[in-house]
Amino acid sequence: MKKLDRNQMAARVARDIPDGSIVNLGIGLPTLVAEHLPKGREIILHSENGVLGIGPRPAPGQEDEDLMNAGKEPVTLLTGGSYFHHADSFAMIRGRHLDFCVLGAFQVAVNGDLANWHTGGADAIPAVGGAMDLAVGAKKVLVMMEHLTKKGESKIVERCTYPLTGARCVNRIYTDLAVIDVKADGLHVVETVDGLSFEELQRLTGVPLKRMLTAA
Amino acid sequence: MRQCSAIISPLVINKFFASAEAALADIPDGATVMIGGFGNAGMPAALIDALIAQGARDLTIVNNNAGNGDTGLAALLKAKRVKKILCSFPRQADSWHFDALYRAKEIELELVPQGTLAERIRAAGAGIGGFYTPTAFGTRLAEGKETRRIGDRDYVLEFPIHADYALIKADRADRWGNLTYRMTARNFAPIMASAAKCTVVQVRETVELGALDPEMVVTPGIFVKRVVKIAAPLQKAA
């Protein structure tokens, strides 16, 4: 079995983003998707802090502190891009104007519940940012995460043990082992990495998986 | 009929203040103060420094974050002048001053999802008494809040956030307080300007009335009380 690395995961997500989409990429691993969007495809990236049409990272020395993404990293603006204030930015999110958001996760449950903002630890400082708005607002919520924790436990679970970000909101999960759709009747495996059988994935995952009828 | 003589008002509208200190002099202890900015973009650093020097205590602060590094909002927190903060994302790699106060229970935190924070501020400025949002339904951030099913979705009732003062940063202003912004430094500033009784703006440049294209004005002067020019070059990342 050959696990996908972070860049391969990002490239796999990028492959599924159609031409013309408006997409919000979450902080961290999802931001990497931007670097793998196929050249020539016109995709508009949105960021919570009031920008549509984010372009590539600026060349060293060309950074501008007034032009950031939600991860507070310097970015550039594509021709055709626009700026707006925070209430408008979240109207776009909540108002179902984004085609996709890509979020990281601690856990996803069989029913599509998402946990990605808080470990629940007594001493942990909570921070939610825009994750709860994205979870309820984007037309499709894609999750990108490693399949297993460092201890080898499945991050796809029967019920989230971490505090929820959103209930029944995840549409598709991309891990370093598989692509899995969340549907009303359960989890459907779309594909697995080379050398990983459905049975082995099922053994690692621990919650019931279904074979996609028309597996690619 | 006798013609009235022309009224020449001595009260020319002029919102320009000579200094940040003068513009913030009347902030009392216990005030609720909104501070614009998302990270460093749009952070009114000179106004925050002036607020630290001014001395008001027991403040309630509204900002997206809870300070970064040792300057600006982080320095205000460190000076123990803030009793409560409303924000969406306090935890950052360099939010050590907030982290220490929070762990010592020396600051109250109201954690608000970012879109709900923005809409609560917008609602205050727009005279809205509350609104139902789908955000946070079914999560611990909605615990104890009124919910309602509208159509086929569940919503959480949220209330406006009003402020006594808003400290924001803009790019250019005229003496009526009309504002333009620069790039993503706009973020919370326009809605905070509308939600506070007294909005104080730090600008890079002041211009003559008429120099701002009316089509390009983002925050009309009706939302602005005081403007301070802070001579500083365009910001560049360190």
Contact B113, B88 (CB under 8 A): yes
pLDDT digits (tens, 9 = 90+) for B57-92: 999 999 999 999 999 999 999 999 999 999 999 998
Q: Which residue has the higher pLDDT, B123 or A212?
A: B123
CB within 8 Å of chain A, chain B residues 92-121? 92, 95, 98-99, 102-103, 109, 111-119, 121
Catalytic site residue A146?
A: no
The domain total for chain A is 1
Band of pLDDT at residue A120, cut at 50, 70 and 90: confident
Instruction: State the CB neighbour count (10 A cutoff) for residue A154.
Output: 17
- Domain with residue A177: its CATH number is 3.40.1080.10
pTM of the model: 0.94
**pLDDT, position B69:** 92
Helical residues (DSSP H) of chain B, grouped into ranges: 20-24, 45-54, 73-78, 96-103, 114-126, 189-195
pLDDT at A59 over 80: yes
Domain assignment present for residue A110? The answer is: yes
Domain assignment present for residue A99? The answer is: yes
**pLDDT, position A1:** 84
Query: What would the two tokens of residue B164 be?
Result: 């006594």
**pLDDT, position B6:** 52
**pLDDT, position A215:** 46
Domain assignment present for residue A216? The answer is: no
Select the residue from A132, A164, A169 to test the B interface by mutation, using most B Cβ atoms within 10 A: A132
- Domains in chain B, ordered, with CATH? 16-129+160-229 (3.40.1080.10)
Band of pLDDT at residue A40, cut at 50, 70 and 90: confident
Report the distance separating Cα B114 and Cα A98, nearest Å.
16
A64 neighbourhood in chain B, CB within 8 Å: 183, 234-237
B187 neighbourhood in chain A, CB within 8 Å: 49-50, 85-86
Q: Are strands B153-158 and B147-150 parallel, antiparallel or unpaired?
A: antiparallel
Cα–Cα separations (whole angstroms), residue A172 to A87, A109, A126, A165, B105: 28, 12, 26, 16, 40
**pLDDT, position A39:** 87
pLDDT at B121 over 70: yes
Q: What is the ipTM of this complex?
A: 0.95
Band of pLDDT at residue A216, cut at 50, 70 and 90: very low
For A124, the domain range is 6-211
CA distance B116 to chain A (A): 8
Letter for the amino acid at B158?
E
